[in-house]
């Protein structure tokens, strides 16, 4: 089995739920707090490609920064959004779980199981 990496914020309840699912299945994984070890543009682009979603699919629409930047009403390019996600990690939906050539936004936490299908 490929190595599993969970990109998370330690205080996030959904992130803890994903960790619990993996632990209960006896699956080893690495946890990376992307607030401590921030995403690079290259890494984020790679994860988006593996998830097959646009950068806008990672935006936390309930976050105050989303509202402050008026992201719902402005036309940002894919690169603009990636830049914002790298600079403002609060804008990133979490957790992102990566396994080899696959990745999934595990919201809800049970979506982590898609990696094993």
Chunk the chain into consecutive blocks of 10 residues (it has 117) and report each block's average pLDDT, rounded to whole numbers: 93 96 96 96 97 95 88 89 95 97 97 94
Give the list of residues 6+ apart from residue 30 with CB closer than 8 angstroms, or none: 3, 4, 5, 6
Query: What integer pLDDT is reported at residue 74 of this predicted model?
Result: 83
Q: What is the CATH number of the domain that holds 63?
A: 3.40.30.10
Query: What integer pLDDT is reported at residue 70 of this predicted model?
Result: 85
Query: What integer pLDDT is reported at residue 8 of this predicted model?
Result: 97
**Full residue range of the structural domain in which residue 17 is found:** 4-116
Query: What integer pLDDT is reported at residue 108 of this predicted model?
Result: 96
Domain tally for the chain?
1
**Residue 103 in tokens:** 């990745």
């Amino acid at each position: 089995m490929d190595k599993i990496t969970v990109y998370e914020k330690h205080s996030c309840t959904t992130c803890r739920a994903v960790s619990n699912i993996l632990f209960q299945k006896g699956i080893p994984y690495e946890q990376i707090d992307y607030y401590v070890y921030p995403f690079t543009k290259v890494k984020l682009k790679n994860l988006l490609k593996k998830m097959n979603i646009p950068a806008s699919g990672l935006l936390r629409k309930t976050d105050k920064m989303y509202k402050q930047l008026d992201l719902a009403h402005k036309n940002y390019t894919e690169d603009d959004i990636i830049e914002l996600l790298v600079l403002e990690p609060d804008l990133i939906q979490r957790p992102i779980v990566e396994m080899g050539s696959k990745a999934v936004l595990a919201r809800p936490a049970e979506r982590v199981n898609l990696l094993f299908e």
